[in-house]
């Protein structure tokens, strides 16, 4: 646990008692603060009481006696409108922060400063690929024998990590919700993977969404910035951070284009990762045979992780060896079975069109399971990738809407996951890929994308006789 510093003996209001909220209360108490905890959900309050946390209705609190309000990332604090308790804190002049801000405020202690190698923080953000990039960095460092922990949106909550060790690296996945509000952001290495429209209501448009991501680079000034430059926003961000074209504090990364110039560049093209510095090639890795990193989107993730590992002093060969043993993350281009020459891929995390497009581009001869609670525009934007699809098997609330947008692509409305998997398995031939990439949220049939992915895997195993 990271004991929160700076609030000893003071009242700290905590709004939201999910995973991060409960961890925040414990970390505040460890640092001598007095948490005043509340959640609008009776179920969450009951769990907090079971954990020994005292509850205080923040709608009735005397804000004059509160040092700061800590809120969970899922609670709106600005757009489309702030939560009523957060609005009351604003009106009373009480600062509002989150667990990420507390983490960076409390990370360095008198003990860690005395280490021979002070711990470092790598923070990863972006629209797509954050989780895989974070997990891949963690895996590379583990394989290299470096002490490392993974936290944030993946793994543990940031304040729940174990006591820090000499030379340790903490790898954080951070969302725009977390970055927008954190009052302290001081990573040693910051990573920006890419940007595509998401959470626009929460950020009042694309500009607000990008501004939230940009805070990771603007607030604390990381020692090293790894920036994907395949979109205009990434190019702008790299230009903002770099002091000159040859500034090696910025590592530009790309999937699909060769990067030129005198700086430090890492890019993947035609399945090969290349590292260039000052116009000279330093290393190359063949990514095509790495099963845990299929497709161009994973090649971008590989470039980001490679750049971070190099900035931390690891050799190219060591990174390549770690790539080969990376198994990928559950529900993200995860191969769950292979039988009769047919591969079964679970990409339940592909909850929007952009991530589904990446999945479709990663494979050929696809029997595509899609559908769920569709988003604005449906799947019309996937038309350029439908040539890879042999047949679509549509499920969930948006099945009929998606069917109208498939053009001449053969399709079947299956309604449920079990029917879709059974039909795809019955029709699949050697060389085909049965791919779950829903391009939709899961909430019409499942509580989250993990449960949806688990249902796909269970149906595949049942179809193969492995119940």
Is 130 annotated to bind a ligand? Reply is: yes
> Would you give the end-to-end CA distance of the chain in angstroms?
40
CA distance 24 to 38: 12
Flag whether 72 is marked binding: no
Token representation of residue 287? 């990514």
Give the helix ranges, DSSP H, for 326-414.
353-362, 399-404
Q: Consult the annotation and say whether 128 binds a ligand.
A: yes
C-alpha distances in angstroms, 239 versus 225, 250, 284, 371, 398? 11, 9, 26, 39, 41
Contact 263, 252 (CB under 8 A): yes
Q: How many CB atoms lie within 10 A of CB 114?
A: 9
Q: Flag whether 132 is marked binding.
A: yes
| Residue 431: Cβ within 10 Å count | 10
b/e burial code for range 381-401 (CB count within 10 A of at least 16 → b): ebeebbebbbbbbbbbbbbee
Residues pairing with 12 in the sheet? 35, 68
Q: Rounded distance, CA 268 to CA 275, Å?
A: 9
194 carries a ligand binding annotation: no
Query: Is the Cβ–Cβ distance between 247 and 224 less than 8 Å?
Result: no
156 assigned to a ligand binding site:
no
User: What are the tokens at 126?
Assistant: 């972006």
CA-to-CA distance for 309 and 313, rounded, in angstroms? Answer: 7
Q: How far is CA 57 from CA 9, 63, 85, 384, 399, in A?
A: 20, 12, 10, 52, 43
Show Cβ contacts of residue 395 under 8 Å, excluding neighbours closer than 6 positions.
369, 370, 371, 372, 414, 415, 416, 417, 419, 420, 438, 445
Which residues are documented as binding site for ATP? 126-132
Which residues are documented as binding site? 126-132
């Amino acid at each position: 646990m990271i004991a929160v510093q700076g609030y000893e003996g003071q009242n700290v209001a905590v709004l939201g008692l999910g995973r991060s909220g409960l961890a925040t209360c414990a970390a505040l108490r460890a640092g001598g603060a007095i948490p005043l905890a509340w959640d609008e959900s009776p179920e969450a309050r009951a769990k907090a009481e079971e954990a020994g946390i005292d509850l205080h209705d923040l709608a009735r609190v005397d804000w004059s006696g509160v040092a700061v309000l800590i809120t969970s990332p899922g609670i709106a604090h600005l757009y489309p409108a702030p939560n009523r308790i957060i609005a009351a804190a604003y009106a009373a002049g009480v600062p509002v922060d989150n667990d990420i801000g507390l983490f960076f405020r409390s990370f360095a202690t008198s003990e860690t400063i005395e280490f021979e190698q002070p711990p470092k923080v790598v923070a990863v953000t972006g629209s797509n690929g954050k989780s895989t990039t974070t997990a891949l960095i963690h895996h590379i460092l583990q394989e290299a024998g470096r002490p490392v922990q993974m936290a944030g949106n993946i793994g543990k909550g940031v304040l729940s990590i174990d006591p820090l060790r000499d030379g340790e690296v903490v790898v954080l996945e951070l969302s725009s919700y977390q970055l927008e509000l954190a009052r302290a952001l001081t990573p040693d290495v910051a990573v920006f993977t890419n940007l595509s429209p998401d959470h626009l209501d929460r950020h009042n448009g694309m500009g607000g969404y990008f501004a939230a991501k940009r805070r990771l680079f603007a607030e604390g000034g990381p020692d090293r910035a790894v920036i994907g430059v395949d979109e205009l926003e990434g190019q702008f961000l790299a230009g903002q951070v770099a002091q000159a074209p040859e500034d090696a504090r910025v590592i530009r990364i790309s999937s699909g284009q060769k990067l030129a110039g005198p700086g430090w560049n890492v890019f993947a093209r035609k399945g090969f990762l290349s590292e260039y510095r000052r116009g000279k090639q330093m290393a190359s890795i063949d990514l095509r045979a790495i099963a845990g990193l299929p497709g161009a989107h994973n090649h971008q993730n590989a470039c980001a992780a490679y750049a971070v590992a190099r900035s931390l002093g690891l050799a190219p060969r060591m990174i390549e060896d770690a790539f080969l043993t990376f198994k990928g993350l559950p529900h993200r281009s995860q191969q769950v079975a292979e039988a009769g020459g047919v591969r079964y891929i679970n990409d339940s995390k592909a909850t929007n069109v952009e991530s589904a497009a990446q999945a479709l581009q990663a494979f050929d001869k696809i029997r595509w399971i899609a559908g769920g609670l569709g988003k604005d525009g449906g799947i019309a934007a996937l038309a350029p990738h439908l040539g890879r699809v042999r047949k679509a098997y549509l499920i969930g609330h948006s099945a009929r809407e998606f069917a109208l947008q498939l053009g001449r692509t053969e399709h079947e409305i299956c309604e449920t996951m079990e029917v879709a998997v059974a039909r795809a398995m019955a029709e699949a031939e050697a060389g085909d890929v049965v791919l779950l990439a829903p391009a939709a949220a899961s909430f019409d049939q499942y509580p989250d994308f993990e449960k949806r992915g688990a249902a796909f895997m269970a149906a595949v195993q049942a179809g193969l006789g492995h119940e």
